[in-house]
Each structure stands twice: as C-alpha cells, then as structure tokens.
Structure 1
Amino acid sequence: MLDDTLLDDPAALQRADHDRALLSLAGAGARVRTALRQADAAGLDRLRPDGRPRTVLVAGHGSALTAAEVLAALAGSATLVTPLPPTEAAAPRADRAGAPPVFTAGLGWQLPGWAGPLDLLVISSADGGERGLIGLAEQAYARGCAIVVTAPAGSPLAEAALQVRALPLPYVAGVLPDEGRPAAPAAEPDLPAEDPAALWSHLTPLLALTQKLGLTQLPYDALPGVADLLDAAAVRCRPDAAAYTNPAKGLAARLAGTVPLLWAEGPLAGAAAGRFAAQLADRAGRPALAGSLPQVLTAHRGMFTGQLGAGADPDDFFRDRVEEPDPLHLQVLLLRHLPGTAAGSAAGTVAVGEQDGPAEVTEDDERPRSFGASRAHRLAAAHDVRLTEYASTRPDPLHALADLVALTDFAAVYLGLAAAQS
C-alpha cells in the first residue's frame, strides 16, 4: 500500500520527479497563453475561411488524439470530427550511429478513402519528426484537402507543411531540462513518457482554429480563461500543499491500492476519464478502465462480483492475512459536468464552487441525479464498492474540462511519484 506521508514531503517528491512532471503541469496555463499568441503570429488571426469543412480529421498519437476527442465533444453534432491514429507500424532501420530507432519512426497514417477537398486535416505532433505524418500530409495534398500542421518550428514536419501549402502553427514545448539535475532513467528509450501537459499544446491551437472556422461556439475569452483555471489548479495542487488541502494528493491517496473504474457522464467528462486512464498508465504505471454512462454499467458489472469486488472472498473471516499484502479492490471514480448548479448545504458536503475547481460530491448532496448516475451509485452500494464523484459546475464546457483534467493530471503524477518512493 502507498505510504500517505510520502505525499506530504515536497523534497522527496522533487527528488523523485526526474522529468519535472509537476513543473510541466504547473506551467500548463503559460503554455496555453503562449500557444494562442504564437498561433495569431503565425497567421491564424488573418484567416478568412470560405465556408466550413465537411469533416475535421485530426492525426497524431498520444495527447493529440485526446485533443481530437475533446474537439468532438465540444463540436457536438454540428461537425464530424474524426481522430486518425496510426494504422501501421513498419520495422524502422537503425540510424547511422547504430542506435535503435525511436518507436514513432515506424508509425504510419492513412487517410480515409472518402477524404477530399471538402475536408480539413489537422496534423499535430510534439516531436515533428514522424515520417508517417509527413507522408500523411503528402496524401492530403494530393487529395486536395485543406491542411493545418502543429509542430515544433524547424522540425521536418514543420518544413514539410510549407511544401504542401499547409497552415503551420507552432507547438509550444514544455519546461527545459535542468542541467543541475540527473537525467531521468531511460527504461524505454524508444518510447519515453509523454509530457503530461502536452495536451494543452495540442488542444489550444486546434480550438483556436476551429473557433475561427465556426466549428465550435465557445465564448471569445474561453481559451484565455482556461489558462487562468490551469494556473489556479497549479496553486491548489502544488507540492507543498498538505494532502488534506490538496485535492490531487487526496485523490491519489484514495486510488492507491485499488483498480480504478473511471466512469463519466457525457462526452466531455468521457474525454477527461479517458485522459485520466492514459495518465495513470503513463505516469503511475496503474491500470484503469474508463467508460461512459450508461453503457459502462453493463461493460463493468461483472467485476463487482469477481475477485476484485469488496465481498468476493467467501472465507474472508477465517484466513490469516498477517503475512499477506492488502488485496486490491475496485474504486469507482465518477466524473460529471453539472453546469449552473450548487452543492447542497448539508453537513459534510463539499461545495462545488466556481472558484475552487471540481470537488467531491457526497451522499448528502440533495441535487437530483440522472438515471445513469443513480444506477451507478446503486450498483456500487449493492456490492460495497467505494464510489467517489467529482463534478464541475462551471457553465462553460471547456472550463469544466480544464477543471477535471487539471485535477486528474496532478493526481496521476502524485500517485506515480509516491509509489516510486515506497
């Protein structure tokens, strides 16, 4: 089990944070502002679109595809948004120095057969060296698609964007390595951990673009407001804040020693839940299952009566567990967006405030639940499985997403850092 006291040792957390993940998350708001400023400087503010694309295809891997899911949730049924993950992985050759090639060198992307002049392709890469994405841009150019490329300036992909007459947008990188600190151990040199704040470098230019095209109906100050919310979350979840006042540390401690089921209500919370599952795997090395209500109730119900259920062991009373590790149990985390509501005033209820980000919604809360949420609570209660619900009441859906993602990103990083010291 995780030693909770490790979460309250800022010095130990800093020593364990080899790749400065906490600092990267703390700078997420600054990255949003920089990405907006650089996108305008790249010509986005001068863009005069002639109509709306039939489909927006978003190609990349990792957080770039999460950004596509967020765009799909925000666009709703007004525009079809299609993520394009890699579809093939050829065996790349080693470089001239004999070093093994990076994993992304063998990835390939393919346009759908129906893609053509009516469609927009957005390619987003944090590295800019993927040959597969360069080939995809060439495919789209031959088909007559409109093309936008987000990549680091000077990278091969950014150079290729000019050749295919794409609109180049800069990718804002995270914090630079600290020369005074030892390098992070390279457990997987060809597939390193992703920058935990990379999502905002992919998502910000994408949303600025689609807002300009009229594909999303966000308030004019929605993206600058996201930067402010991420700054506020960084203050709440800072390493020197004690676990009882730091919501991310509290969530990390709650998930320790459990198998999390990440349930979401609505497409926006669904994107946040999928993001959290990916971060738990990448940052904490923990498996988690994500899904949306109500279909996830059917998909996950078998685990409530299986070996991970709270009452699954029939001889629980008679077994001597002094020398055995604590068993894993299920933990349900329900993410919701409840715009325009306020938490109940009963004793013990944590207010879901407009200024404090998402907070736990307790059983004393008097607001009516949806059918799916009610079924989720009944299923968990019937099998003695702990269910924790977090909700954001911000009226703007993008701001609610920022609340949920900021909390869960910090929680995944804290869980991984504390587990590394155990």
Structure 2
Amino acid sequence: MLDDSLLDDPAALQRADHEHALLRLAGAGARVRNALRLAEAAGIAQLRPDGRPRTVLVAGHGAALTAGQALAALTATSSQIDTLAPHDVAPVQHGRLATPAFTAGLVWQLPGWAGPLDLVVLATADGGEQGLVSLAQQAYARGCAIAVIAPAGSLLADAALQVRALPLPYVAAAPYEAEEESGPAEADLPAEEVGALWAFLTPLLALTEELGVTQLPEGSLAGAADLLDELAVRCRPDAAAYTNPAKDLAARLSGTVPLLWADGPLSAVAAERFAAMLAERAGRPALPGVLPQVLTAHRGMLVAKLGAAADPDDFFRDRVEEPDPLLLQVVLLRRAAAEEDEYTDPGYAISRARRLADAHGIRTSDLTTPEADPLRALAELIALGDFAAVYLALATPAG
C-alpha cells in the first residue's frame, strides 16, 4: 500500500527516484522545444510536398506507437494514420558478455497495399533494431516516402541515408549523475525512458503539419511545451499532496484497480498511456476503454466481488490473515469546455458511467482538462497520468 507520508517528503522521493523519473518528466517542455528546433534545422520547413500522403504509417514500439496513436487522434484530414507494431521477434547474435535488448530482434512487415502514395515514419529511441532497418528497405523498394526519428549515429539513422529518408532528430533525455538501477529486472528488457513520448511526437507533428496532415492551432506545439512547464511546477515533489494534482491522484489510486474510461479519441490515447505507465512504473494493472462501449465491456467486473462486495471497513475482518482487498475504481478521462463548472452535465455517456459506478458502490475519480486546443488537452491528461504513476511507484514501499 502507498505510504502517504512519503508523498510529502521531497527528500525521500528523491532518494527513491533512482532513475530521475520526476526530473525527466519535469523536462518535457524543454524537450519539446529542443525537438522542434532540431526538426526545423533538419529541413522540415523546406519541404515542398506534392499533396498529402494517402496514409502515414508510424512504425516502432512502446512510446513510438503511442505517438502514432496520438497523431491519429489529432488528425482531421483525408489522410489515414496507422501504427505499425512488430509482428514477430527473431533471435539476435551476441557475444559471450553482451546481452542484446529483446527489442533488437523485433520484426516489422509493411502492409501489402503500401506504396508511393504513402509515408512511412520509423521511430525508435535505440536505433539498433535490425527489423526497422529491414522495414526501411522494404519501404524504399515500394517507393514509399520515408522519415526516420532515431538517435544520431545509430544503425537506423545510418540506414536512413541509404534509403533517402528524411532524418529527424530524437532528443535524448538529459543525463544525470549517480544514476542507479531501479532494482532487479530482465537484462534484455530495459525500462523505457519516461519522457520518450515527447521526443517522438514533436518531430512527428512538425512533419505532418508541414505536409498538411494535421492542422493544429498556430503555435500549438510551443503552447503545449509551456503547459508542460506549468504542470511540472504544479506536480513538483515539494508541492503538498493537497495542492499537487498528481500526488492526489496517486493517493486515490492506491489499493485499487483503475478502470480508465475515456470520453473520446484524445482522452483514449491518454488512458492507454496511463495504463502503460502504471504497469511500467508502478507495477499496477489498469484497464483502459472508451465510452460508451466500455460500459458493456467492463460490466462483468462491476458486478463481481472485485467491485465493492468485499468491504475493507468490515470490523470483524482479520487484518492479518485477510489483507486489504483490491477494489475497482473508475477514472474518467475527459475534455471539458473552459466555461463548464462542476455542476455542468458532461454528456449522457459520462453521466451513465457515474450512475453505473455509484450503483455498484465503486469510487469514481476525474481526470479532466479544460483545454480547447487538442494538443494542449492531450498534454495535460498525459502529464498528470505520468506524474501520478511515478509518485505511486515512489511512495509504495517495495515488498
């Protein structure tokens, strides 16, 4: 269970944060600005596209695929946005001392219909995936336009030159001294860096804006960077839990299995990201879904004993032999107009979700953004979820 006292102890949080996750989340705004500046230096502004691509395929794994899903949610044109996940894995040759990352052997396959009308974007924080190099070669043979987001000097970045791809920068996280491993882990499954999403999404949006695929409000990326800075201040470790929305959310999630219900495509991306961060950082399960269909998909859990049937306040329960049960909690991720207040009906699906949870005695929490700009709205929902997942991990004693 979460130790509430740790949430209000900045020194203890810092000692527990071996990977400097909070610092890296706080630097998301600066990372967006750096990525945008480097993307412009790479020549995006000089592109002269001959119409929009028919389809934009974003290939990668982890946060790269999340960036592709975010791009799809932010796109309102005739172009189709698809993500291309690995479909297989092959063994990787290595020496006696080195253990290659599992991701190095991932395999991707270009869809049979992909061709000269399509754009393939290959994105990775490592750049050593031979499968992405092979995919770049497939795309080149099909006549696809190609862009690559990868660290400079990596295997994929070098391959991009051979297939005439547009090289876009991957802005790595700032290095910190005395970084330690967070604990025992599979040697070939390293944790993904917490801020990688913005290093992928920023150049991806800069490129698609230039191609006319996305049409965000003017200055949207810069505005999102400013908002990420503001959220970093609100969610800083020395902000008390009652004024820190991420700490408050982490405390409310403790001891529960969250059902992350989103009210639309943008909040659905944030829900998927939140579930991934809770699993990766806090080791907690969470189930995302989109309203209204999630009401029927999750109905069985609402009426089962995992809901409110097991009463944690039962006076006669043996606290030693029967530990506190895990209970469900519904978290509603949604966008709200700036002029709405707490008494405004957010829509039938949200109202029905609240009534359903109340009827089964299940706690409901809100993760709401008032931002009208879709990118700023996405940034707020994702940032609050990221910080909350990290605080939940840091304030939960191991074992």
Normalised-by-shorter TM-score class: over 0.9
The residue aligned with 2:277 is 279
- 2:323 partner letter: P
The residue aligned with 2:350 is 373
The residue aligned with 2:37 is 37
Measure the CA separation in 2 of the matches of 1:28 and 1:36. 12
Shift of residue 75 of structure 1?
Answer: 0.6
Q: CA, structure 1 residues 103+322, in 2 after alignment: closer, same or farther (shift >3 Å)?
A: closer
Secondary structure class of the residue paired with 2:332: strand
Measure the CA separation in 1 of the matches of 2:312 and 2:197. 45
The residue aligned with 2:245 is 247
Measure the CA separation in 2 of the matches of 1:158 and 1:414. 35
- The 8 Å contact of residues 16 and 420 in structure 1, kept in 2 or not, is answered as no
What aligned pairs does 1:16-415 form with structure 2 within 5 A after superposition? Answer: 16-76=16-76, 78-93=78-93, 95-178=94-177, 180-312=178-310, 319-321=317-319, 323-343=321-341, 365-415=342-392
Measure the CA separation in 1 of the matches of 2:135 and 2:66. 19
The residue aligned with 1:352 is none
Measure the CA separation in 2 of the matches of 1:3 and 1:377. 28
- 1:39 partner letter: A
Q: CA, structure 1 residues 131+385, in 2 after alignment: closer, same or farther (shift >3 Å)?
A: same
- 1:416 partner letter: A
- The 8 Å contact of residues 88 and 107 in structure 2, kept in 1 or not, is answered as yes
Q: CA, structure 1 residues 367+78, in 2 after alignment: closer, same or farther (shift >3 Å)?
A: farther
- Structure 1's unaligned 5+ residue stretches are 344-364
Measure the CA separation in 2 of the matches of 1:314 and 1:64. 40
Q: Percent identity over the alignment? A: 67
Measure the CA separation in 2 of the matches of 1:242 and 1:387. 23
Secondary structure class of the residue paired with 2:289: strand
1:79-135 CA deviation, whole Å, 9 max, x = no partner?
Answer: 210000001011222x22432221012100000000000000011111111100000
Measure the CA separation in 1 of the matches of 2:128 and 2:318. 56
Measure the CA separation in 2 of the matches of 1:323 and 1:299. 33
- The 8 Å contact of residues 305 and 312 in structure 1, kept in 2 or not, is answered as no
Shift of residue 390 of structure 1?
Answer: 2.1
Measure the CA separation in 1 of the matches of 2:319 and 2:391. 29
- The 8 Å contact of residues 306 and 312 in structure 1, kept in 2 or not, is answered as no
- 2:102 partner letter: F
Shift of residue 208 of structure 1?
Answer: 0.5
- The 8 Å contact of residues 2 and 397 in structure 2, kept in 1 or not, is answered as no
Q: CA, structure 1 residues 202+76, in 2 after alignment: closer, same or farther (shift >3 Å)?
A: same
Measure the CA separation in 1 of the matches of 2:357 and 2:78. 36
Shift of residue 181 of structure 1?
Answer: 4.6
Secondary structure class of the residue paired with 1:326: coil
- 2:362 partner letter: V
- The 8 Å contact of residues 3 and 397 in structure 2, kept in 1 or not, is answered as no
- The 8 Å contact of residues 186 and 192 in structure 1, kept in 2 or not, is answered as no
Q: Tell me how large the CA RMSD over aligned residues is.
A: 1.7
Shift of residue 219 of structure 1?
Answer: 1.6
Measure the CA separation in 1 of the matches of 2:179 and 2:162. 40
- The 8 Å contact of residues 77 and 213 in structure 2, kept in 1 or not, is answered as no
| Worse-matched range after superposition: 97-106 or 12-21 | 97-106
